[in-house]
Amino acid sequence: MNKEIYNKFISPYILTVIKICKLEWLGHVVRMDSERMVHKLLEGEPEVGSKGGRPRLGWMGVVEIEK
């Protein structure tokens, strides 16, 4: 009995929820007009800093890694 109730009301794993939200936002931005600032920022390349080491990932790089 308690297992049935627990399984009905168990909340989804938070990292899965975050990934779903990111992908939903990505789909929203991709469908935007290409002249919108958010769309331009999504397609832009991040600047490479002079700090050395690995360059920072853009938003798309983070989404691709999480697949």
pLDDT band for position 24 (50/70/90)?
A: very high
Check pLDDT > 60 for residue 49: no
Q: How far is C-alpha 8 from the geometric centre of its chain's CA atoms?
A: 28
Q: pLDDT at position 67, please?
A: 54
Please report, as a single letter, which amino acid is at residue 4: E
Residue-by-residue DSSP string for 1-67: -HHHHHHHHPPPPHHHHHHHHHHHHHHHHHTS-TTSHHHHHHHSPPPPPSS-SSPPP-HHHHHHHT-
Q: pLDDT at position 38, please?
A: 86
Domain boundaries, the chain: 1-36
* Over residues 23-38, mean pLDDT: 89
CA distances from residue 18 to 13, 25, 52 in whole angstroms, order as listed: 9, 11, 30
Q: How far apart, in whole angstroms, are the C-alpha atoms of residue 56 and residue 67?
A: 18
- Average pLDDT over the chain, rounded to whole? 76
In the chain, what percentage of residues exceed pLDDT 90?
7
